Structure 1
Amino acid sequence: MRLLLFLGCAAVALCIVRGCSPRNFADSPSHRCFCQVTGYLDDCTCDVETIDAFNNFKLFPKLQKLLESDYFRYYKVNLKKPCPFWDVVSHCGIKDCAVKPCHTSEIPDGIKSSGFKYSEEANRHVGELVDCEKAERLGAVDESLSVETQQAFLQWANHDDSGDNFCEADDEHSPDAEYVDLLLNPERYTGYKGPDAWKIWNIIYEENCFKPQTIKRPLNPLASSRGDNEDNTFYNWLEGLCVEKRAFYRLISGLHASINIHLSARYLLQETWLEQIWGHNASEFQKRFDTVLTKGEGARRLRNLYFLYLIELRAASKVLPFIERLGFQLFTGDKARDTENKKLLLEILQDVKSFPLHFDENSLFAGNKKDADKLKEEFRLHFRNISRIMDCVGCFKCRLWGKLQTQGLGTALKILFSEKQIENLPERGPTYGFQLTRQEIVAFFNAFGRISTSIKELENFRNLLLNTQ
């Protein structure tokens, strides 16, 4: 009861701080950045204050602890894939753009070897177990078929699985795919900016967010020289879109806002030959979100961030039955720690499930099934294209976090809109329904962690701006 009272008071306090009525806040930087970031969100039944209280006081600390564990800190990625659309200007000369991959010896055995088991005795029989599992899956195929036909059947099954995927994932078996320790390569400001960075976002917005030719105003919020008439026309068009296409734009805008918050919160404030000092850059944050400096765009960007948070929060709630199966383990090789981390993960997901105002994914792709399926496929292909654009980012560290966060969001969309059953899966052994790879699980929870961090950083920037007025 005390906790609920505390969360309720915190929400009220935040609402008072953001409110537009107190005159002493009227011209303060905090007021201008956050005044309109309050109340209910469009296309949702949830409000900003409820999200802040839930995330900052209940979810964020546990989620950060989980993401520091070995299972979630190592992400396998191919940063050498060529851009499929244009020749990339490399920014690897900027030292903060560099990514240091892990040596094989640094990766826990349970992560780098899919057949690894906890005991030495079990490891001696890994080959037999793998063959047994393979035989069990092949057992679902008519054994009178030739081996070649059986293998083709499995390839078709894998192709069918790919129909759920909203991202074009890296080939984990490629010699160019390497493990990266996310804790040693944090997302922060790298100096990657200018025409090359602008081009990435411009292509994402202009060519993948369902923009018609009649809209002249750039969708890219970094673009300048927009007039009021252009803004009015744009937002009239946006509100006139079907809810699915409007949601697509808001997800991309929310992801963009989240990344900008991270860059502002972990900014290189000072550098000497001895050390680098990273911290919050209030001026950089204001440049991206202040109502006056952004011509009213800042509040819209932040509200889209909250929309993205609700989407990923709902996906985390929906994936709980898949995670809580006895056969699902966070294998790293340390049985005691893996058990402890699964317990923490389940505790987080139970907290998520208890959230009172989840986004209703059934409001999307509803209506006539033929039309809904066509729209869903168009939505999926647009997002897959954005995941491919991440291979065009010239800064390797930006590419790393861009790929991870798009794969994480793509996994959230897969969880929400897969037609395969997630509940009532077998407790142990292979399943032929809904599936997630370790790569998808690591990307999803780290991406959710990034959005959760963004919401928490808004509180930090709010306090920082209040203290500087």
Structure 2
Amino acid sequence: MLAAFAALVLAASPFSPFDVLPSGPLADTQCNLETVEAANEHQLHTLLAELSTAPFFRLINVNMDGKCQYWGGPEEEEHVCVSKAEDTAEPLCTLGTDNSASDPFGAAATGGGGSPFSSSMSPPREQSSVPTDPVDVTITPEEHAYVGTIAEDCNDETLPSFWLDMCSAIPTNASDYVNLQLNEESYTGYNGSHVWAAIYNENCLVRTGSDQNICLEERVLYRLLSGMHAATNTHVARFYHPPSKRKNRTDWEPDLAYFARQFDGHPERLKNLHFAFVVLLRAVRRASPFLSTLKEVGGMMDATALVRRFLDTAILKSCSAVFEAFDEGLLFREEQASWWSLKKQFKGVFHNVSRVIDCVSCQKCRLHAKVTMLGYGTALKLLLLPPELFPTSVSRDEVAALFNTLHKFSSAITHVKELTELRYARYYAADG
């Protein structure tokens, strides 16, 4: 009842004891925040939540064993996970495991199929871990030359294939799949401030001349990273206190003080959350012909139907204001000197930030950061590559990461409103 009353007050009252939800035009897009909120609340969040439960999307392969290239040893040990579930000795950073997810898209699960993408995925892994035959690694001079051209295509910014390797710094070659529903994003006690500082420090594109204003490309990259930060903090605030029999908590409960510390006085953080959501939606819209042809995986029901439902023309039309709000055609239009490539800098910064994630010692935090960066990388590929390259350049795990990242941001937008209304409810309950 209090929450419902607070929602009415939030919508009608000009007075605020603290910052309210940001509103108005969303910079670098062609929509406003209210339009994004309405589309998410009325249609998109429900569809994305349903998508996230399908095995195709909740099971993801991300290599969690990358070595930190920026620091190591004692410095990182100062930031280890310190929080434990109150009724157990298990650290909240620990990944939940599901033995059934060891190879859900391999031969056993798919009847020998494996990949829902005909030529964009590697063959399914063998069920036996013991090699029965040595691998012949011989390649001809012609084949060696072909491999070299692939690398060159990703290094030449004048070629359409330049963006093919956006996700290369987040490999998906782990031996096991992770069930994201067993590892939902929540408070772990991990202090990642040093990692976020490194991420923001990596976001710097060198400019020439006296223009002090950052370019659109750098602004977009910064706002994506800030949006990721805001989404993470929102999930932590919403799922802060774990279930506890001792404290009579049957579910995760929020921490409004943490939420206030992250966002009071910083409306731009929530605006960047909405901006990132719009960029992701635009990527899905641009790739909708490709995504709608997603092949069903044997034994993994509903993936194709759910994606097609999300991409239904009626939904794309009714929510066109957000699906079409970001214009990727405005990126990389400036002429650069031959020694200074904005495209190379942009991709290099994105790869560096992706590698910083390997410095996160909390396994659950690392998982969610990697999935988000993989989702971002996939979105950027879909925005910047020619559509004819999609079928051979986008993997199953990249598509799964893209939709999981969309769901993460959609949920965060919903939680922001929920937590703000709860703050109002408690404020007015205490006041009167």
Q: Which structure 2 residues correspond to residues 12-51 of structure 1 after superposition, within 5 A?
A: 17=10, 22-23=13-14, 25-26=15-16, 28-29=17-18, 32-34=19-21, 37-51=22-36
Structure 2 residue corresponding to 1:182, chosen from 167, 180, 195 = 180
The aligned counterpart of 1:365 is 332
- TM-score, normalization by structure 2: 0.77
Q: Is the 1:75–1:181 contact (alpha carbons within 8 Å) kept by the matching residues of 2?
A: yes
The aligned counterpart of 1:100 is 96
State the 1:153 CA deviation.
4.7
- Structure 1 range deviating more: 268-277 or 311-320: 268-277
SS in 1 for 2:267: helix
Q: Which structure 2 residues correspond to residues 227-266 of structure 1 after superposition, within 5 A?
A: 240-266=213-239
CA distance in 1, matches of 2:168, 2:391: 20
When residues 372 and 62 of structure 1 are mapped into structure 2, their CA distance, relative to the original with a 3 A threshold, is: farther
Q: Which structure 2 residues correspond to residues 72-111 of structure 1 after superposition, within 5 A?
A: 72-87=57-72, 88-89=76-77, 91=80, 94=83, 95-103=91-99, 105-107=100-102, 109=104, 111=105
CA distance in 1, matches of 2:241, 2:31: 35
Q: Does 1:312 align with 2:245?
A: no
Deviation per CA, 1:424-451: give whole Å up to 9, x if none: x5xxxxx786521011111111111101
CA distance in 1, matches of 2:64, 2:235: 21
Q: Does 1:282 align with 2:256?
A: yes
Q: Does 1:206 align with 2:240?
A: no
CA distance in 1, matches of 2:227, 2:382: 19
CA distance in 2, matches of 1:15, 1:367: 47
Identity of aligned residues (%): 29
CA distance in 1, matches of 2:97, 2:321: 41
Q: Which structure 2 residues correspond to residues 149-228 of structure 1 after superposition, within 5 A?
A: 149-156=141-148, 158-159=150-151, 160=153, 163-164=162-163, 165-173=165-173, 177-193=175-191, 197-210=192-205
- Structure 1 range deviating more: 367-376 or 47-56: 367-376
Q: Which runs of 5+ in 1 are unaligned?
A: 1-12, 135-145, 213-235, 292-297, 426-430
State the 1:408 CA deviation.
0.6
The aligned counterpart of 2:310 is 348
Deviation per CA, 1:246-269: give whole Å up to 9, x if none: 122111111111111010011116
Deviation per CA, 1:209-238: give whole Å up to 9, x if none: 3489xxxxxxxxxxxxxxxxxxxxxxx95x
SS in 1 for 2:61: strand
Q: Is the 2:80–2:362 contact (alpha carbons within 8 Å) kept by the matching residues of 1?
A: yes
The aligned counterpart of 1:374 is 341
Q: Does 1:112 align with 2:74?
A: no
Q: Is the 1:366–1:372 contact (alpha carbons within 8 Å) kept by the matching residues of 2?
A: no
CA distance in 1, matches of 2:97, 2:140: 38
SS in 2 for 1:305: helix
State the 1:78 CA deviation.
2.1
Q: Is the 1:365–1:372 contact (alpha carbons within 8 Å) kept by the matching residues of 2?
A: no
When residues 188 and 407 of structure 1 are mapped into structure 2, their CA distance, relative to the original with a 3 A threshold, is: same
Q: Is the 2:296–2:303 contact (alpha carbons within 8 Å) kept by the matching residues of 1?
A: yes
CA distance in 1, matches of 2:422, 2:404: 26
When residues 151 and 101 of structure 1 are mapped into structure 2, their CA distance, relative to the original with a 3 A threshold, is: farther
Deviation per CA, 1:81-120: give whole Å up to 9, x if none: 21111114273665100013432x44564x134x975xx6
Q: Is the 1:269–1:279 contact (alpha carbons within 8 Å) kept by the matching residues of 2?
A: yes
CA distance in 1, matches of 2:173, 2:418: 41
SS in 2 for 1:271: coil
Q: Which runs of 5+ in 2 are unaligned?
A: 1-5, 84-90, 124-137, 155-160, 428-432
Q: Is the 2:241–2:252 contact (alpha carbons within 8 Å) kept by the matching residues of 1?
A: yes
State the 1:457 CA deviation.
1.0
CA distance in 1, matches of 2:245, 2:33: 40
Deviation per CA, 1:268-322: give whole Å up to 9, x if none: 166346976412222211111112xxxxxx2011111111111101001011111
Amino acid in the other structure paired with 1:375: L
The aligned counterpart of 2:135 is none
CA distance in 1, matches of 2:71, 2:196: 14
Q: Is the 1:209–1:248 contact (alpha carbons within 8 Å) kept by the matching residues of 2?
A: no
SS in 2 for 1:45: coil
Please provide the CA RMSD for this pair.
3.4
When residues 396 and 432 of structure 1 are mapped into structure 2, their CA distance, relative to the original with a 3 A threshold, is: closer
CA distance in 2, matches of 1:16, 1:206: 40
Structure 2 residue corresponding to 1:301, chosen from 269, 272, 293 = 269
CA distance in 2, matches of 1:432, 1:66: 21
SS in 2 for 1:380: helix
Amino acid in the other structure paired with 2:143: Q
Amino acid in the other structure paired with 1:344: L
Deviation per CA, 1:310-338: give whole Å up to 9, x if none: 1101001011111223xx3131x227x2x
When residues 344 and 256 of structure 1 are mapped into structure 2, their CA distance, relative to the original with a 3 A threshold, is: same
State the 1:387 CA deviation.
0.5
CA distance in 1, matches of 2:53, 2:381: 25
